[in-house]
Amino acid sequence: MPFIEAVDLRKTYRVGKVEVQALCGVSFTVDKGKFVSVVGPSGSGKSTLFYLLGGLTRPDGGRIVIDGEDIAQLSDAERTRMRKRKIGFVFQKFNLLPTLDARSNIEIALDIAEASLDRTYFGRITELLGISKRLAHRPAELSGGEQQRVALARALINQPAIVLADEPTGNLDSKNSEAVLGMLRQSNQELAQTVLMITHNPEAAEYGDQIIHMRDGQIVPPEQDPQWTGHHDDGGRGAGAGDPRSR
């Protein structure tokens, strides 16, 4: 059974008197422990898909089944509990609290989830992400790459089954982007989290096991994605020589 199953997802937004179809019958499955990249141009529907998968909004139609539970049928309170228990979020904007040091910015996720700190796990992920010696520093004292790693640690600290990352390298230079993507991939492999990453960047997308291409609110073949011209898509069959996934 797939760990995540989206079936005929539909979402329409109203802008004044105009209806905008953000998703038009999107269906796909994701197996547990996979790293999936969702790519497409602006307006393709990938951000709407992100919010639906995270339980941040409801679809107008269709089903979203996560670990056997249809989250579209949950109440607001139940979806909030589900997010606390199963999902970690990483955003393009780091969303760190400027008055707190890195350690407190990570641990605040535990406070929200009313969970206790696992010191061994905390040490493991901060070491994995290369920030164990920067925990006493506030965001203004950290580089952009370090801030995003703190944000990633915050997403991982509750040991979620799923990590949803929305343009996690959008505010980073190429060097820091590669570092964060490598660490996201490493955390996926070593911590066994299922990762769905929204990105407009074909190079970033290639870190995934599986790539979903979106255009005009639908899943499309790679050749219909104008940003994918000239890029190789292996359909999620694994990493080969020179592939970012083999690093």
Give the separation between CA 58 and CA 51, rounded to whole angstroms.
Answer: 8
Domain spans in the chain, listed from the N-terminal domain onward: 4-246
pLDDT in tens, the chain (247 residues): 789 999 999 999 988 888 889 999 999 999 999 999 999 888 899 999 999 999 999 999 999 999 999 998 899 999 998 998 889 998 888 899 999 999 999 999 998 888 899 999 999 889 888 899 999 999 999 998 899 889 989 998 988 889 999 988 887 788 878 888 888 888 888 888 899 999 988 889 999 999 999 999 999 988 766 666 555 554 443 333 234 544 4
Q: Provide the token pair at 54.
A: 């995270």
Task: List phi, psi (to 5°) of 190.
Answer: -85, -30
DSSP letters, 102-158, are HHHHHHHHHHHHT----HHHHHHHHHHTT-TTSTTS-GGGS-HHHHHHHHHHHHHTT
Residue with tokens 């997802």: 9
- CATH code for the domain defined by 4-246: 3.40.50.300
Residues 6+ apart with CB under 8 A from 30: 2, 3, 4, 5, 36, 194, 196, 210
Q: Provide the token pair at 188.
A: 């996926």
Residues 6+ apart with CB under 8 A from 178: none
Amino acid of residue 122? F
